[in-house]
A and B are shown apart, each in its own frame.
Chain A
């Protein structure tokens, strides 16, 4: 096979070897550097070429057995060359419920990829499914190379491809420099990943361009994630008088008007003011823009204010005004005071005691008391200990850790330093998920800034506390969020969890005592120290203190990242913060905690957010993914979705997880395709109970939760599936598309159908050829007369 891309086809062996040698020189030759080494190779060659691998055997301690074992375990590594551009279709939870599978199929159809090919014949595109791009509120989401597209409907796929290619061709226009008049005030623009995905970099460019054009010299500031991810791009304009006006969902073409409105670029333009005022208003009530319902500005701001009113910002303190990488500003708002206080006024065991008393529990899923874990590490006399910040965040519907790392890097670093001081550790590692390049970049920069200010390194802030931090990038394995698997991967092994005890707190990384804490857990610390125990203890319930960040997504009106006090009810979250179920549908259930969590039915949604309350219901706080499901969502499909995720992510070591989950999935597949019998439901339950009991690590022990909770609360839906009925029309094999007599013969569906399953018959009722129909749903989206319906196959058979 020959490949035309410049990167991999025409390199001579010598060139390849020279490059590999340079990489080895930079990264090292020990066995434990294998993951960074392979990452660097892939960065260079875009996959792992055989020649490069052979060179590794020659030049490093890494042998063939280790290389095969590791490189095939992590999904990041590719063994075959890819096309020039990579399309990643998100199939995370939020995107799944919004129809991501259809989007994936559409791309394949549109790009004419057949069989199992993942690359187009012209080597232009390769396609991949990924679990959560971290922009769940824009679901379904697709990423092509670096560019993220939100709200991608199956019918819009060709437009997305065209737009991408168009962009490729466009040349960078030279920016015109003009003299600007300095005006007071500033413009704040959210630059988290979601924001960037929905075009804030375009807005950023536009802001600069337009202010140049208009000659307005106003401070344009990028701030971290603003939380209201479905309203982004969002800008706050602080005018001369210090008044803040918020513009959600801004578009580049609006920028000019907004700038004009707030900042008078010299008197000559003053007369335009009234004129423009009106025009701004029309823009904001324009109903024609894609996917977005526009409301007058005051109303829109209203929505956001209620979205924010129930929230408390601890982990996300500084929300909306702090620039992620501005250390001075962070310090100006009290940043690193907690650290300084701790190192100068507290003895380590006093810090541990404070954390114990605060009742803080781990936010990584399990809810283990943080103070207890610290105590375990602190009591060890080992001169060397580690603190690991777990930023692997593998839940396919959650992205709060990413947001915190991207937007509040200094707070996490501060938390880690406090943890290091308290436990007597001297080294820290940020373990960050492969899919979060921006988080890695920000943390790296933030660490550099801290080092310059002597907040990191030797004798921090003039004391004898020394601590340094490194970054380790994950390579794509959900199970590596599990602490022992995480440690195995840092050590250069496949991510097999180890049996505990011994706990990492006793023997962790390199056999040394290791504290593993979640990103969010660490972000709560500076508040506890700064504001004092009393203030912290007031927030939350008896056994769950403080706040929890959730990624609110799915069928919800105002999704996004929210930080709420423990003890708030799910209903409050959905109604008061989320604005209710999208499209006025009825709430069916809330899926909480991702693949380890469970579904809580609507009638139990008055439950308070609390570790133990969720556990009692068979769900789990988990990472904090909160997916709202409406009547239109199928619970059996939901269970199958999560199980297919855990099945793919199982490390494969132990029997119950490796084979048991597969056998559960077999049954769910049968249910969703109408091939199951009643006994299968009992068999599924028996398997679920035993996999939960007998798996070796948390992945297998929690994987059955989505099945067990849906069986508990929605058993009748399983029974219906045995009878061949999926009332929501989600399970494709159980439904077919039919045109009803409401059809006026407009031919739109026939044109929309990607596989020509609808003959073109103007002015006549159309018919769908069920043999060729791929059930993509494009015709339904297209029909203006609501004349196409999904009906159970069983029923049509019976009535015909």
Chain B
């Protein structure tokens, strides 16, 4: 069977999807709701291609090639459709890739990372993060106006996290240390796409005030799934700075739910690709429909899912974390 992709003739196997064929001959097509070998149903349209014979836009991840098919996987029109699907998903994505505090630190301290160790009472690790950024024993904060505390999201809820105080507290714990560290500096790549959470509503502030009771009071804004987030990867590649559509979502922000083992779920970051639903049995499920459709994990079903789902999730909604729960 022969098909035509971007003008090139390709021999295709019976039952082969357009995605596979295109990849085989060197075109790369982004995919979110598809994962090799996993059950999936096309929904995200990030893998859109065009059938130039009938003008239809089709998902390449599940459309099987038929003899004589003519496809376009590269044109501006297609790029623009993929871009729009990302932008639409991002407009319903109220989450921060990086924590505001870490983004603004002029000395390059990953504040949130440090605080997450602090809240897990792993002070050594917290100290190491600080040592990576500062020329200890000099504490960088002493010569800084602390934009981190001004940018702190917790500050819009009630009081900003006392970041400088905590840094001093940690540094003091190891005051008699001779090895001043500074081996691992964690750099935040500011060229990457940065999703922004936007403002909290009054109800959200109330909820966060009551539910987030970490030692430092930090909300841990940074995305725990950022290291393998396809959404962010494609958005960066497409050069998206911010979505052109107003940000709004029906999903609860910053609600981090323990699933099983080291598996965590943060609903606000879910792109409703359905991979975790289709690949668990009586585990994750859809709820409601339309714009308000959610993916949920009923408490009773938590034992039925495997930690491996985190690898399928294209966003940071499902992630591994070994740190202590930050929420009840």
List A residues at the B interface (Cβ < 8 Å): 63-66, 68-69, 72-73, 477, 494, 496, 498-499, 647-656, 658-663, 666, 683, 687, 690, 693-694, 696
Contacts and interface: CB of A to CB of B under 8 A. Distances in A.
B57 A659 contact: no
Contacts of B245: 663, 666
Contacts of B290: 647-652, 658
A648 B291 CA distance: 8
B81 A690 contact: yes
Q: Which 6 A-B pairs have the closest CB atoms?
A: A652-B293, A65-B285, A659-B88, A63-B282, A662-B291, A650-B290
Contact of B57 (A494, A496, A693): A693
Contact of B44 (A63, A69, A654): A654
Contacts of A69: 285-287
A499 B42 CA distance: 8
Given A650-B290, A655-B43, A658-B290, A68 B92 contact: no
A658 B282 contact: no
B50 to A, nearest CB: 9
Interface in B54-97: 57, 59, 62-63, 81, 84-85, 88-89, 91-92
Contact of B291 (A494, A659, A683): A659
8 contacts: A65-B283, A69-B285, A499-B62, A650-B290, A659-B88, A666-B246, A694-B84, A696-B59
B255 interface: no
Contacts of A654: 42-45
A447 to B, nearest CB: 31
A499 B43 contact: no
B298 interface: yes
A494 B85 contact: no
A693 B41 CA distance: 19
Given A69-B287, A499-B63, A658-B290, 14 more contacts: A64-B282, A65-B280, A66-B285, A68-B287, A68-B298, A73-B289, A651-B289, A653-B274, A654-B42, A654-B44, A655-B45, A656-B45, A662-B248, A666-B246
A73 B288 contact: yes
A30 to B, nearest CB: 16
Given A659-B92, A663-B245, A653 B45 contact: no
Interface of B is mostly: loop
B196 interface: no
A67 to B, nearest CB: 9
Contacts of B288: 72-73, 652
Contacts of B42: 499, 654, 696
A663 B91 contact: yes
Contacts, number: 118
Interface residues on B, range: 35 or more
A662 B48 CA distance: 21
Given A65-B301, A656-B85, A694 B286 contact: no
B104 interface: no
A590 B46 CA distance: 37
A655 B31 CA distance: 13
Nearest to B248: A666
Instruction: Tell me the dominant secondary structure on chain A's binding face.
Output: helix
Contacts of A666: 245-246, 248
A498 B88 CA distance: 22
Contacts of A68: 285-287, 296, 298
B100 to A, nearest CB: 25
Name which of A494, A499, A655, A661 has the most chain B CB atoms within 10 A of its CB.
Answer: A655
Contacts of A477: 289
Contacts of A662: 92, 248, 291
A484 to B, nearest CB: 12
A479 to B, nearest CB: 8
B84 to A, nearest CB: 5
Nearest to A479: B289
A696 B62 CA distance: 12
A522 B91 CA distance: 44
Given A654-B44, A659-B88, A696-B59, A65 B298 contact: yes
Contacts of B43: 653-655, 696
A656 B290 CA distance: 11
Contacts of B274: 653
A667 B285 CA distance: 31
A652 B292 CA distance: 8
A693 B284 CA distance: 31
Contact of A653 (B41, B296, B298, B300): B41
Nearest to A477: B289
Given A64-B298, A655-B89, A693-B57, A494 B246 contact: no
B272 interface: yes
B60 to A, nearest CB: 12
Interface in B293-308: 293, 296, 298, 300-301
Contacts of A683: 244
A496 B41 contact: yes
A616 to B, nearest CB: 16
Contacts of B89: 655, 659
A6 B183 CA distance: 72
Given A64-B282, A650-B290, A655 B298 contact: no
A652 B289 contact: yes
Given A65-B301, A690-B81, A658 B57 contact: no
Contacts of A655: 43-46, 85, 88-89
Contacts of B44: 654-655
B59 A65 contact: no
A498 B288 CA distance: 18
Contacts of A63: 282
A68 B288 CA distance: 8
Nearest to B55: A693
A648 B289 CA distance: 8
A65 B63 contact: no
B216 to A, nearest CB: 35
Nearest to A67: B285
Interface in B220-257: 244-246, 248
B296 A658 contact: no
Contacts of B63: 499
Contacts of B285: 64-66, 68-69
Contacts of B57: 693-694
A696 to B, nearest CB: 7
Contacts of A496: 41
Contacts of B91: 659, 663
B287 A650 contact: no
A728 to B, nearest CB: 27
B45 A494 contact: no
B187 to A, nearest CB: 32
Given A663-B91, A694-B57, A73 B286 contact: yes
Nearest to B245: A663
A101 B304 CA distance: 45
A666 B91 CA distance: 12
A498 B280 CA distance: 20
A55 B300 CA distance: 15
B289 A494 contact: yes
A694 B277 CA distance: 23
Nearest to A652: B293
B41 A694 contact: no
A48 to B, nearest CB: 14
Contacts of B45: 654-656, 694, 696
B203 to A, nearest CB: 13
B283 to A, nearest CB: 6
A73 B285 CA distance: 12
A72 B289 contact: yes
B291 A658 contact: yes
Nearest to A661: B291
A694 B274 CA distance: 19
Contact of A693 (B46, B81, B246, B287): B81
Nearest to A494: B286
A694 B81 contact: yes
Given A656-B45, A696-B43, A65 B282 contact: yes
B147 to A, nearest CB: 32
